[in-house]
């Protein structure tokens, strides 16, 4: 592979690219490439940023071109790597976005010959070195036993509907602590940080241990894990609210050091 020796390329600055991470029912949507490099290999949807576009605009355009549908994006991170054109190889910086398709899609066969949905944990390989890093990131963050998640949330609130995209966005914005055994999710808890003008604080939400596993120390383990994650990040104060009728939860919070903070807790429900 050659390197371009034009005056601009001597700086070796990366070209911006994007990857659309489309997940449904725990499965990733992959595209089979029709062009070199990596012709015939599986890839994420996405492509190069064009002059004058923001990264987000370029991703939405690429998804529209390749799948014929509008989309909504949430930033995941940037992943350096390389790409090539003809005999030249050059650095890229790949911006990955969790991408929600807004309707029915259809594959444009000029761009990709096939598509497939694969459970995240089963995706073995992907074209491009930057995408391999994204895949590793996704496997670390987004592999959940989806049925277990729903079962746990149902025990917390039997009327709650778990929306998959909201779940992944919560993974990105919050601290998550979980206890698993043999691939089964036994309990989880979340804390969402927020920097106010006064403090770096976090709010604990959605603490739940499967009813068959309660009283064995799992709730305490999850809560201490959340507190440790926040502490590492400089969180100064943790807060939470819980119904006084939740005897176990109130006992747990007091045991680890939460003290009742008398305040009026208001909600404005816009649903
Ligand atoms: C609250 C909950 C997460 C606690 O999980 P858990 O794994 O059962 O709790 P642990 O075994 O880790 O218990 C830790 C401490 O919590 C307190 N606690 C737990 N169960 C209790 C109970 N039934 N009564 C009073 N205190 C209790 C105790 O202080 C206990 O410490 P100890 O064992 O030294 O006495 C769990 O009961 C649950 O999922 N409840 C339903 C959902 C819920 O209420 N979530 C909180 C929403 S805000």
Last residue of a domain, one of 142, 162, 184: 142
Cα dihedral 101/104/107/108 (nearest 10): -90
User: Count of domains in the chain?
Assistant: 2
Last residue of a domain, one of 110, 142, 174: 142
Which residue CA neighbors atom 1 of ligand 1 most closely? 249
Report how far ligand 1's centroid is from the alpha carbon of 224 (Å).
13
Report how far ligand 1's centroid is from the alpha carbon of 217 (Å).
8
Residues 102 and 51 in one domain: yes
Confidence of residue 121 (pLDDT cuts 50, 70, 90): very high
What CA–CA distance (Å, rounded) separates 80 from 78? Answer: 7
Q: What's the pLDDT at 117?
A: 98
Q: pLDDT tens for residues 192-242?
A: 999 999 999 999 999 999 999 999 999 999 999 999 999 999 999 999 999
Q: pLDDT tens for residues 237-264?
A: 999 999 999 999 999 999 999 999 999 9
Range of the domain at 26: 9-142
What one-character-per-residue DSSP string does 192-226 give?
A: EEEE-SS-EEEEEEEEEE-GGGTTSSHHHHHHHHH
Residues 137 and 70 in one domain: yes
Domain CATH number, residue 120: 3.90.79.10
Report how far ligand 1's centroid is from the alpha carbon of 153 (Å).
16
Q: pLDDT tens for residues 72-112?
A: 999 999 999 999 999 899 999 999 999 999 999 999 998 89
Q: What's the pLDDT at 247?
A: 98
What CA–CA distance (Å, rounded) separates 186 from 208? Answer: 9
Mean model confidence pLDDT for the chain: 96
> Among the atoms of ligand 1, which is closest to the Cα of residue 240?
48
Locate all alpha helices (DSSP H) within 143-264, ordered by sequence. Answer: 146-156, 164-173, 218-232, 247-255
Residues 224 and 118 in one domain: no
Ligand 1 contact via 23 beta carbon (within 6 Å): no
């Amino acid at each position: 592979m050659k390197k371009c020796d034009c005056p601009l390329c001597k700086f070796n600055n990366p070209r911006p690219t994007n990857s659309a991470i489309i997940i449904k029912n725990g499965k990733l949507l992959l595209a089979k490439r029709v062009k070199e490099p990596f012709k015939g290999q599986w890839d994420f949807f996405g492509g190069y940023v064009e002059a004058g576009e923001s990264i987000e605009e370029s991703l939405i355009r690429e998804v529209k071109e390749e799948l014929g549908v509008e989309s909504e994006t949430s930033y995941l991170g940037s992943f350096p790597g390389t790409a090539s054109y003809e005999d030249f190889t050059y650095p890229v910086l790949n911006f990955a976005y969790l991408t929600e398709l807004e309707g029915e899609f259809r594959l444009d066969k000029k761009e990709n010959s096939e598509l497939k949905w694969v459970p995240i944990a089963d995706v073995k390989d992907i074209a491009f070195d930057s995408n391999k890093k994204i895949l590793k990131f996704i496997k670390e963050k987004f592999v959940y036993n989806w049925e277990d998640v729903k079962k746990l949330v149902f025990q917390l609130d039997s009327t709650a509907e778990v929306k998959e995209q909201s779940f992944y966005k919560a993974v990105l914005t919050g601290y998550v602590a979980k206890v698993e055994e043999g691939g089964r999710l036994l309990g989880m808890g979340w804390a969402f940080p927020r920097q106010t003008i006064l403090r770096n604080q976090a709010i604990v939400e959605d603490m739940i241990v499967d009813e068959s596993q309660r009283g064995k120390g799992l709730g305490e383990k999850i809560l201490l894990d959340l507190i440790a994650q926040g502490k590492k990040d400089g969180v100064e104060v943790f807060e939470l609210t819980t119904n006084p009728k939740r005897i176990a939860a109130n006992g747990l919070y007091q045991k680890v050091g939460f003290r009742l903070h008398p305040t009026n807790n208001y909600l404005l429900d816009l649903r």
